[in-house]
Amino acid sequence: MRYTCRMKTAALPSIRIEPQLRADLEAVLTEGESLSSFVEAAVRKSVEYRRIQSDFHARGQAAWEAYQRTGVSYPVDEVLDKLRRKTAARRFELEARSKAR
């Protein structure tokens, strides 16, 4: 026997906006896109952005604390070279993947 549990959905609170903002919003909707789906997508993107931002700050804080504890740091040129190599490798990977399609 298999049980499934469905989560109840919840609504975002309604907000009041200026008529011009609503008109601007409706003007950018794509075909078949509703105002609700646009708002939901915008909220999801904002939540993800904030999560990424929070993680970034946490990693920065941890790095700063590690530096304060150990005194070990790396020259900026060394760090930037490593980042450039990683970026170039990722770009190469994505270009190869797009050519394979």
Whose CA is closest to 25, among 11, 46, 39, 41? 39
Q: Which helix (H) or strand (E) holds 32?
A: none
**Cα 85 to Cα 74: distance, rounded to the nearest angstrom:** 16
Would you list the domain boundaries of the chain? 19-26+35-70, 73-101
Q: What is the pLDDT of residue 54?
A: 98
Q: In this structure, what token pair is assigned to residue 67?
A: 């530096």
Each of the 101 residues of the chain gets a pLDDT tens digit; together they read 566 667 778 899 999 999 999 999 999 999 999 999 999 999 999 999 999 999 999 999 999 999 999 999 999 999 999 999 999 999 999 999 998 88
Amino acid at 16: R
Tell me how long the chain is.
101
**Cα 101 to Cα 97: distance, rounded to the nearest angstrom:** 7
